[in-house]
Structure formats: structure tokens, C-alpha cells
Structure 1
Amino acid sequence: MIVIMADESAAQKALAEAKANHIEHVYASENRVGFAGLKDIDDVPFINEQQVVDVITDHPGAMQVSRAFHPTDTVIQTPHSTIGGQNFSLIAGPDAIESAEHVLAMGQAAKAAGATILRGGSYKPRTSPYSFQGLGEQGLIWHRAAADALGMDMMTEIMSPADVDLVGKYTDIFQIGTRNMQNFSLLKAVGRQNKPVLLKRGMSATVDEFLSAAEYIASEGNRQIILMERGIRSFDQKYLRNTMDVSVIPVLQKLTHLPVLADPSHAAGVSEHVTPIGLAAVAAGAQGLMLEIHDQPAKAWVDGKQALTPDQMTNLFAKANAIHEL
């Protein structure tokens, strides 16, 4: 149940009274108070009815991340980026951190193309247990140094609740990969942090499952959440790694106030298709793009087949900016 109050002051007073009455899972946003476990206004008799404007009972289960609870767009501010709303965010970097020199060089190219966030993986969830799994903390050190030298934000994937403190020492933005979208212990752990979280859609996740995963993060107090469509598993994997669900972008933007970005690299899986898929996502309203880049894709340690060269990235970002402006 979401109770719309006369103003923000009334909402905060109702929130305090609810907590004083030991009601669990109650949250406030602007002039609204959300009761995740209640469905009837009679269950909260302490609220001043004269201050109640409306009561919404038919709302998504993922209440805190819904527009019914928070109608205005969430805009997330990091040291070097403004994500969400009318802003357009560009993220790029190597799939895996390979060396200090390489991540710095890729960061220089990304920044020159307009990116403000340097991505890269030091902990890699791989399909095969025998594939390269990342350089661990050494990769984080090199990644942080490159981001600092360039004046960019650092974003890296986290795989386990046990790594939150370690990864949190270095990164500006936690990334939850598609395989961990429903790792609820991990979602709760990053939900207790005061840093933005980029949450990728699971490769077979429905919209409700995606938003519910975001709600797990918000339920622990962290509403700095960025959603990312990265392609879903379909029946034809011969030519594309995944199928970019362009249609879900406007759907999500109607349902949630959170920023919605797109990752065409993982959707395409083949570098020659990354640009058109990325541009389609921007045309559908994506508020940013994330790309994998490598100066020598054939020699990349991970996913070189889908990596763009710096020149290809620059071309895509220029076109993406133009479409966003339109």
C-alpha cells in the first residue's frame, strides 16, 4: 500500500509514527509512504486522515522501485558522472583487466570518446570453471589507478557477498552481472552499501523478476540503482549471443523511476552487430550505453569476439549522442 500525503513533511511524520508502532518494511519518498506488508489504510490508524490525499493498493510488488512510489526520475550522482533523467551516460572499458598499461590505454580512449565511467572485470563469472577468472585484487588496483589518473568513475563486477568490503575499497559503482541477478544474498549485501549498483537483467528474467531483484537492493536502504538491459536468451544463438530486448526499455521507464541503460556488447556477441543494436537501444530511450573495447580484440583474454576497437567505439558513441539529442 502506498499512501499519498499532502506534502513531504506529512509523509515523514507518518513514517516516524509507523516505525514507532513497530511496523516493518515501511518507506518514504517525497510525499508518499509505502507499506510493503499492508494493504488497508485501516491498518495504520495513527495517520492523520486529513493529510491523506490518496491510497494506492494496486501497485507492483517491487514497490520502492516503482513510479507509483517515486514518480520522478532518479538521478544518480557519482564523482564524475550524472546518471538518469535526461542525462546520457557512456561506459566503456575492457571486459577483463589484463595489465595496468592496457586498462589505462583503454580508459584514455574511452574518455576521449566521451565516456565518464571506466568498466573492467577483475572477478569474472565464466561458464567454464577452467576459463580465465580474473586477476582479483591486483586487477582492482590497476583499474582504480587508471580511473583516478583519468578523472573517471570505476565500475567493476562483484560476485560474492564476501567480496563487498574488498571491492568496495576500490570501485565507485558495483556491477551485478546477469548470472547474479537473483543472488539475493549479494543483492542484500550491496543494498547495505552507500554506493550505486548497476544491475544487469538476467538472461532469462521477466520484467517483474528484474524489478524484484532491484527491490531487494532498495529494501536494504540503497536506492542508487541502475538497470541494464543486456540481451535475453532466445532460440537462435547461431548468429547472435543474445537477443537485445529493445522493447523492454520503454516498458521499464514507464514502470520504474530508475535509470535504464543498455549493453549491446553482450546482446550481440559479435562486434559487427554491436553498433546497430546499441543505436536501436538509444532510439528506444536508453539513458546510456556500456561497451566492451580492446585495441587487439583477437588477443583479448575474454570475449574478444564482441569487443569494439577504440575507433569503432568512438564512432558508435558519436552516433548514439546524436540519436539521444533527437
Structure 2
Amino acid sequence: MIVVMEQNATEDQIQAVAAKVESFGLKSTIINGTERTVIAAIGEKRGSFKESIESFPGVSALTPISAPYKMASREVRTEPSTIQVGSFTAGGGHVGYVGGPCSVESEEQLISSARAVKAAGGTGLRGGAFKPRTSPYSFQGMKEEGLKLLAQAREETGLAVFTEVMATEDVDLVCRYADVLQVGARNMQNYRLLEAVGKSGKPVLLKRGASATMDEFLLAAEYILNEGNDQVMLCERGIRTFESHTRFTLPLASIPYLHRRTHLPVIIDPSHGTGHTYMVHDLAVAAVAAGADGLIIEMHPDPPNAQSDGYQSQTFEQFAETMTRCQKVQRALAE
């Protein structure tokens, strides 16, 4: 249920309604919009909830939330959310560009990558310190040493640091170093992890599972939002289909669909979504043209010798060219 307050509702009236909502055993979340404030009442309604609330001073109307995902729905927040952390901004007309290697491998590799991202106009640095790999014998990441290198790169370049957290017990450690916690596709429905990153208060980049429906994707985001963390970005990174010409199938239709259903920013990952370097450039540009709020792209100083995902990583020069074209499209759309 959404309690819509009148435009001239006072702070005391808003707080009184929120307290009344909670007296019914519901969770209240106050959402301040540009025109008016709404209060989301989440949970099983009991007793004479509607009659009790609609008579309160300052209340304009009560509206049921039809979507299964409550806090992520456009019914709760009609305006697009903007996520801003350090140098990075996404949503509300802003496009955030994140680049960097799949895995943190060495100081030289990471720092040179961060400098290249910064020089190309990027605002975020990605890099995996903990790497989930299909094979247990593959490179698993540098762990805390990798996190320290990411923090060092941020210190030099000012780029916001994006890195994946894989387990609930690692959340506090990763929070010490990262600006944005990434939940990978394999963990999209790891509900205890979603709750943990929600409680962290850090911005979260949530990747869609390879076989997840849109409702499942948005309900996963709901776990984070339900912990009081409204800094959630949805990342479309491709889904598994019958096609074999790409690593995954990257459905750019997700962008307008999600913008219609949710206020959360939509980030596109054309690297995992294609699995081939030569496709990344065009899909990145197309994503910006389709209205994406951000891109996260894998790049590496020496892709053929990368310890993970070199076959889908751009060189520094390719990344710079992609950034130039994406920014041209972004400017054209803004005119």
C-alpha cells in the first residue's frame, strides 16, 4: 500500500502517518519526491488499516501496490532514482561509465588500467578481487591484496571502485575498500547475501542471473531494498539461450522494460553479454542509444595474457574509442 501525502503536508504529519503504519505491524518507508511525499507500507495489512490512515491530517490518498516487488516498483517512486558515489553517477539522465579488468592481477596491471579508464572519461573502476570461476582450478583472485590495490587505484585516480562480494562473511571486508558492492549473476538469488549487502548501506550493482526472469530479478533487488538500502543498480549482463555465437544473449529490450517497471538505474554489461571483444563496442553504443544509465566494460593492458576473460576484454585503445562514441550518442540524445 502507498500512502500519498498532500503537497503541503508537514514533517510532523508525515512522521505521524509513518508511526501509525508501523503500529499495524507494517514497515514504513518515507519517499520524498519533487512534488510530494509518499509512504510505502509494506507487509500484511491487518484490521482497519485503510480507514485509520486515510483520515489522518495531510493524507491525500491510499493506493495498493500491484507489483510483487514493492520498493523497486514505479508505483512507489515515479521518478527515476539517481545513484551517486564519488566520481560515479547513474540514473536521472546521468550515464556512468565503468571500466577495468575482470580480475585484479598485479599493481602494474590495475594502476595502468585505472589511468586508462580515467583518461577515456570513465568514472568507475571495476576489478575482481574475489573471482567466482566455473573450475576450482582457475585463478580465484588476489582477495584482500586485490582490494588494497583497488583502493590504491582510487586514491590515485579518484575513480569509484566496483568489486564483487561473493559471501556474507566477506561483506565487511569488501566494504572497507570498495565504493560499490557487486553481486554477480551466480549469486542473484543468494538471499542471505542480498540481505547482507542491503544492511551494509553501500551502493549495490546487482547482476541478472543467466536464467532469471525479470520478476525474479526485481524481487532479488527487493531483498536489498527491504533492508533499507535504496542505492541499487540493476545490471543486465545477458541470459543463457539456445544461441552459440555469443557467450550469452544480451537483450537490450531490458532497458526500456525495466525503466517502465522500476525507478532503479539500469547498467549494461556488453562484455559478459557477448563474450567477444569485437562485439563489445557496438553493443555498448547501442545500449546508450537505448537509454542505459551506465555501462560496465572489461578492459586489460594485455587481453591475450589476462588471467580471466581476456577473450572479451578490450584494449585501452578500444575502450577509449568506445567511450568516445558512447559519449557522442549520449550528447546527441540530450539535445
Q: Please give the TM-score of this superposition, normalised by the length of structure 2.
A: 0.93
Using the alignment, how far apart are the partners of 2:45 and 2:278 within structure 1? Answer: 51
String of CA shifts for 1:132-183, please: whole Å, max 9, x gaps: 1111101111111011111111110000010011111100110011111111
Pairing 1:27–2:29 present: yes
Distance in 2 of aligned mates of 1:192 and 1:45: 33
**Which is further off, 10-19 or 136-145?**
10-19
Matching residue of 1:54: 61
Give the distance between the partners of 2:14 and 2:108, measured in 1 at CA: 52
Aligned 8 A contact 1:39 1:57 in 2: no
Equivalent residue for 1:236, pick from 226, 235, 243: 243
Once residues 288 and 54 of structure 2 are traced to their aligned partners in structure 1, the CA distance between those partners, rounded to angstroms, is: 45
Q: Structure 2 residue aligned with 1:250, among 249, 253, 256? A: 256
1:135 to 2:135 alignment: no
State the Cα deviation string for residues 94-137 of structure 1 (Å, max 9, x = none): 00000011100000001101111111001011111111111110
* 1:2 counterpart residue number: 2
1:311 alignment counterpart: 317
Could you tell me whether the CA contact under 8 Å between 2:26 and 2:44 is conserved in 1?
no
**Post-superposition offset of 1:249:** 0.5
1:274 aligns with 2:280: yes
Cα distance in 2 for residues equivalent to 1:117 and 1:46: 47
CA RMSD of aligned residues (A): 1.6
Residue matched to 1:169:
176
Cα distance in 2, alignment partners of residues 47 and 278 from structure 1: 47
Structure 1, residues 17-58: CA drift from partner, whole Å, max 9, x if none? 222x15233322122122222468932544252633232224
Shift of 1:222: 0.4
Q: Which residue of 1 aligns with 2:43?
A: 37
- TM-score normalized with structure 1 length: 0.95
> C-alpha distance in 2, partners of 1:156/1:217?
17
Alignment match, 1:17: 20
Q: Distance in 2 between matches of 1:43 and 1:55?
A: 10
String of CA shifts for 1:189-224, please: whole Å, max 9, x gaps.
Answer: 010112100111111111111111111001011000
Q: Structure 1 residue 283: deviation in Å?
A: 1.3
- Please name the residue that 1:73 is paired with: 80
Contact 1:18 1:44 in 2 (8 A): no
Structure 2 counterpart of 1:291: 297
2:197 counterpart (186, 190, 199): 190
**What SS is found at the alignment partner of 1:156?**
strand
Secondary structure of 2:328's partner? Answer: helix
Query: Matched residue of 1:29: which SS?
Result: strand
- 2:241 is paired with a residue whose SS is coil
Equivalent residue in structure 2 for 1:120, among 127, 140, 149? 127
Alignment map for 1:88-127 (pairs within 5 Å) = 88-127=95-134
How many percent of aligned residue pairs carry the same amino acid? 42
Deviation at 1:3, TM superposition (A): 2.0
Say which is worse superposed, 44-53 or 92-101, in terms of deviation: 44-53
Count, aligned residues: 324
Q: Is 1:224 the equivalent of 2:193?
A: no
- 2:270 pairs with one of 259, 264, 273: 264
Gaps of 5+ in 2: none
CA distance 1:40–1:53, shift in 2 (3 Å): farther
Is the Cα–Cα contact under 8 Å of residues 26 and 33 in structure 1 kept in the other structure? yes
CA distance in 1, matches of 2:285, 2:212: 23
The CA distance in 2 between the partners of 1:120 and 1:70, in whole Å, is 32
| Alpha carbons of structure 1 residues 134 and 95: separation in structure 2 relative to 1, 3 Å | same
Structure 1, residues 258-313: CA drift from partner, whole Å, max 9, x if none? 11110000001010011111112111110111100012111000010000001101
Give secondary structure in 2 for the equivalent of 1:27. Answer: strand
Distance of 2:72 and 2:40 partners within structure 1 = 11
Q: Could you say what secondary structure the match of 2:62 adopts?
A: strand
Q: Secondary structure at the match of 2:308?
A: coil
Residue deviations 1:198-253 (CA, integer Å, cap 9, x gap): 1111111111111111110010110001111111111112x100111100101101
